[in-house]
Amino acid sequence: MAELEKEDIILKNKIADRIQSLRLETGLSQSEFAQKHDIDRQIINRWESKTNKRGITIYTINKFCKMIGISLKDFFNF
């Protein structure tokens, strides 16, 4: 897998921060959020991770948005 460019890393980190921020707005910990949405806590951790080199797909971001009841447009409006 090719190394991410600096701009890509910045975007990946902003997305991770946005997911964490929106999750925190729900008032739930990673474990509580995972349990509520019937997913593994490690998945949430991976979505919020800045060290994960894989990043996150737009499909996963859309899934997260549906979980918290916002649109993709709202997600990227940061």
Q: Which of the two residues, 2 and 66, has the higher pLDDT score?
A: 66
User: Residue 55: its pLDDT value, please?
Assistant: 80
Please report which confidence band the pLDDT of residue 1 belongs to, taking 50, 70 and 90 as the band edges: low
Tokens of 70: 């916002």
> What's the whole-number average pLDDT of the chain?
93
User: Residue 38: phi, psi to the nearest 5?
Assistant: 55, 50
Instruction: Write down the pTM of the prediction.
Output: 0.90
Q: What is the pLDDT of residues 50-72, one digit of tens each?
A: 998 778 999 999 999 999 999 99
Domains, the chain, ranges and CATH?
A: 6-75 (1.10.260.40)
pLDDT at 36 > cutoff 60:
yes
